[in-house]
Structure 1
Amino acid sequence: MALRKYIFIFAFFILQVQQVYAANSGDNFSDSIVSDSTQLPAKKCGKHLKNSFLDRLYDIAKDFSRIDTNYIEPQHYNYAFMLQNTNTYEIYRLQTGKNMTVTFKPDLNVKFGPYFGWRWIFLGYTLDVSHIGGSNNKHEFDVSLYSNQIGLDVFYRTSGNDYHISNLTLDKKNDTRNIEGASFSGLKSSIRGFNLYYITNHHKFSYPAAYSQSTCQRISAGSLLFGIGYTSQKLSVDWEALAETMNKYLGKEITESVFDSSLVKGEVNYDDLSLQFGYGYNWVFARNFLFNASLSLALAYKHSSGDSDHKSFTFRDFNFDNFNIDGVARFGIVWNNTKWYIGSSAILHAYNYHKSNFYTNSVFGSLNFYIGFNFGHKKS
């Protein structure tokens, strides 16, 4: 827990520092900083501060944060207001040792709400209009922070009570279409974690232009992405309840012929540590228009609490079979003339977990539609 706490603190610190740089980035970056600074006293040796270690460190940070204004137009305003529609999606696909594959999906969550921004801080509230007047115990928390150099996704989700059986595959001779769409309350899940990634070509490629509208991409550019991630996931399936549902919609004869009687209740609890590598591209296909697509693959090591008797991971628990490939995909399209903007964005997370007699694939994400404007012009 302490390690995760310090990672989060470090990530947010980096984001805040770089956004202060990004707000003033461009050809006049160094002039604006120096002119507002109080000159420090010279060192006893008589040399100016520019020859000191701190000055060299400042030069490194300045070069690190500078953008090429031929490719990226900086933000000209201090404030922003936006209306957004958010649609969240998730799917769980499970396969047993007897090649029975079942896919669960919940109802789509539809939310609307306003957002207000000041420089890099953006706060808002969305109302779940898809469950007004109904009951649903689902909890969701998703935050994505985009900056020139660093990006961060933080997410937390727990399942609701609105899952349905989207698909059930047994064998070619059994028709399972009758069970499609049937309600199922025997699935419980939760997932929490973060992805932290570095954008290598941050001088010319802007993630904020595609996802936070704080800059504008003027010339198409791409960038390699490197990152790390952590996820903790819990999944519980009541197979006995699934057998009862199959009896109801498919008949007892089919259920007994294909159902694995050794499965009573399946639980998967695992921690996931990953190294990520990907590529993103901003395509400026017309004036003020931008389309972004990016994909990151993750080499993930998953340690399940059922793999050993230890309460925490030790090196003697290490097993090469616990490596899986996960992924994160992002897509965005936006029109932005620096004053007004309108667009859509989507982010999808995919996770895999497999053992000799059990396999699960989970996908969750969100699709956003938004419109807004910037105001409060920055002083030149």
Structure 2
Amino acid sequence: MIDVSSVVNSSENVDRSCNVSDTLTCIRHKKTFFRRIGKSFIRLFQEFNNIDTNYIEPQRYNYTVMLQSTNTYEMYRLSEKDGNSITFAPEVSYKLGPYVGWRWIFLGYTIDLKHISMNSEKSNRKEFGLSLYSSLVGVDLFWRETGNNYRICSLDLEKNINTDAIKDVDFEGLNSSIKGVNLYYIFNHRRFSYPAAYSQSTVQRHSAGSWLAGIGYTNQKLSMDWNKLDKLTRERLNLSSLEIGLDSSRLFGKIEYTDISFSCGYSYNWVFAPHWLFNASLSAALAYKHTLSDTNHGRFTLRDFNLKNINVDGIGRFGLVYNNMKWYAGASAILHSYNYTKKQFSTNNFFGYLNFYIGFNFGKR
């Protein structure tokens, strides 16, 4: 006789074994999937500092202390379509302060030596800058509020009026702020080291260069009091508003625009002597600038796109370093150029940092 219950039980056993098998297979797939993701992240982090030690020597110390002087420069040029233009620049700031570092973490504080005794109304300049460098990618973060402590560098009028009397005169009618981030990829990151030139965390042993590609986002705000400028020019030049020729109705009072850019450039580390390095880096960026007042709605949409809003910006970096791994000293400069052109007017903004530093490393790894 055939035991029906045994047949049923055996079939149930088969089904159960199939379910267990499917579950184990699913678990194996999940483990394999997450293991692959984990390995991908590990490879990515390893690639951040994957270098050819014949060209780049990694840091042999854990800690560093440094004294740095930072000089900040800025310039704004405003032009109208008839050729009249005026150029402003704030006073150069000189900052000095100590820095302490542990591996890739670097913190410091600087004091503006030129404006220590300046009252609160004049010392309204605020700025923040952070640069992170690895062998693979680099990031620049910046935020600046210059305040209203500008001076007039030049005034060019189409009527060829002599404007020497207004040069280097203080002007409190201009306020500006800028904030943004730049992210760039270093193609030849195994043999070329940005950190060797700008963060002293590695040493470049042989000359090498690399192409760069990046993206950036910037937000700029600019406000101008044309009544103050008109009054100042009339007093200094002893002319009427009609004789001066500046037409504030064709310019602006306040402007805010966002800037999205794609950049490409080249950087080269030249090892011209033992322990010495000179770096030059230049990048040009195609930037799309969207003025918030261009449209009646708050968000940017494809219908707002206009090829006339595309301008060319630039980024430059230069560095000179002596680094014997124990002691280091040098200078570096980071320069930004932004251009904005509309039918009625155009603006050109330039700002940069010049750093001088000396430091030493300690605490061997």
TM-score class, shorter-chain normalisation, is: 0.7 to 0.9
Are residues 1:333 and 2:317 paired? no
Question: How far apart are 1:146 and its partner, in Å?
Answer: 1.1
Give the Å deviation of 1:63.
5.3
Q: Is the CA contact (8 Å cut-off) linking 1:238 and 1:264 kept in structure 2?
A: no
Alpha-carbon contact 1:240-1:264 (below 8 Å) kept: no
The CA deviation string for residues 328-368 of structure 1, in whole angstroms up to 9 with x for no partner, is 10000000000000000010111010101100000111100
Q: What does residue 89 of structure 2 align with?
A: 105
Question: What is the one-letter code of the residue matched to 1:320?
Answer: L
> How many percent of aligned residue pairs carry the same amino acid?
55
- 1:173 Cα offset (Å): 3.2
- For the residue of structure 2 that corresponds to 1:209, the secondary structure is helix
Q: 1:377 to 1:183 in 2, by over 3 A?
A: same
In 2, the alpha carbon distance for the partners of 1:317 and 1:160 equals 31
In the TM superposition, residue 310 of structure 1 has moved relative to its aligned partner by 1.0
Matched, 1:200 2:187: yes
Provide the secondary structure at the position in 2 that maps to 1:198. Answer: strand
2:136 partner letter? Q
Q: Is residue 2:272 matched to residue 1:285?
A: yes
Q: 2:346 aligns with which of 350, 359, 363?
A: 359
Which residue of structure 1 lines up, in the alignment, with residue 12 of structure 2?
none
Q: Amino acid of the residue matched to residue 88 of structure 2?
A: F
- What residue identity is the alignment partner of 2:324? N
- Aligned pairs for 1:302-313 (under 5 A) are 302-313=289-300
Q: CA–CA distance in 2 between the matches of 1:342 and 1:233?
A: 34
Partner of 2:6: none
1:118 maps to 2:106? no
Once the 2 structures are TM-superposed, how far is the Cα of residue 97 of structure 1 from its aligned partner? 2.3
**Is contact 1:243-1:255 (8 Å) kept?**
no
Counterpart AA for 1:219:
H
Any conservation in 2 of the 1:102–1:167 contact (CA below 8 Å)?
yes
Deviation at 1:257, TM superposition (A): 4.3
Deviation at 1:161, TM superposition (A): 2.8
The question of whether the paired residues in 1 share the 8 Å contact of 2:48 and 2:135 is answered with: no
Q: Which amino acid aligns with 2:281?
A: S
How do residues 97-176 of structure 1 correspond to structure 2 at under 5 angstroms?
97-135=81-119, 136-171=123-158, 173-176=160-163
Instruction: Judge conservation of contact 2:230–2:241 (CA < 8 Å) in 1.
Output: no
Aligned length: 334
Q: Is the 1:226–1:278 Cα contact (8 Å) retained in structure 2? A: yes
TM-score (norm 2): 0.87
CA apart distance, 1:256: 3.0
Distance 1:125 1:261 in 2: 41
2:73 corresponds to which letter in structure 1? Y
Is the counterpart of residue 183 in structure 1 residue 167 in structure 2? no
Q: Does 1:343 align with 2:327?
A: no
2:285 aligned residue (277, 282, 298): 298
Cα pair distance change 1:140/1:321, threshold 3 Å: same
In structure 2, the CA distance between the partners of 1:101 and 1:56, relative to structure 1 (3 Å rule), is closer
Q: Is the 8 A contact 2:192 2:209 kept in 1?
A: yes
Note the C-alpha offset of 1:53.
Answer: 6.6
Secondary structure of 1:67's aligned partner:
coil
3-state SS, counterpart of residue 272 of structure 1: strand
Residues 98/67 of structure 1: CA separation in 2 closer, same or farther (3 Å cut): same
Q: How many Å separate the matches in 2 of 1:55 and 1:145? A: 24
1:11 maps to: none
Aligned partner (choices 233, 258, 262) of residue 275 of structure 1: 262
CA distance in 1, matches of 2:99, 2:41: 36
Question: Is the 2:48–2:134 contact (alpha carbons within 8 Å) kept by the matching residues of 1?
Answer: no
Cα pair distance change 1:69/1:271, threshold 3 Å: same
Q: Is there any run of 5+ residues in structure 2 with no aligned partner, and where?
A: 1-26
Q: For 2:269, give the aligned amino acid.
A: N
Q: TM-score, normalised by structure 1?
A: 0.83
2:62 to 66, 72, 78: 78
Going from structure 1 to structure 2, the CA distance change for 1:64 and 1:153 (only over 3 Å counts) comes to closer
Q: How does 1:2-13 map to 2 (within 5 A)?
A: none
| Structure 1 position 178, deviation (Å) | 1.2
CA shift for structure 1 position 268:
1.5
Does residue 1:89 correspond to 2:83, yes or no?
Answer: no
Task: Look up the match of 2:208.
Answer: 221
Q: Secondary structure at the match of 2:249?
A: coil
Query: In 2, distance between residues paired with 1:81 and 1:172?
Result: 56
- SS of the residue corresponding to residue 306 of structure 1 reads helix
Q: Secondary structure in 2 aligned to 1:159?
A: strand
Aligned to 1:371: 358
- Other-structure match for 1:66: 50
Cα distance in 2 for partners of 1:98, 1:179 equals 21
> CA contact under 8 A between 1:296 and 1:329: conserved in structure 2?
yes
Give the conservation status (yes or no) of the 8 Å contact 2:212–2:264.
Answer: yes
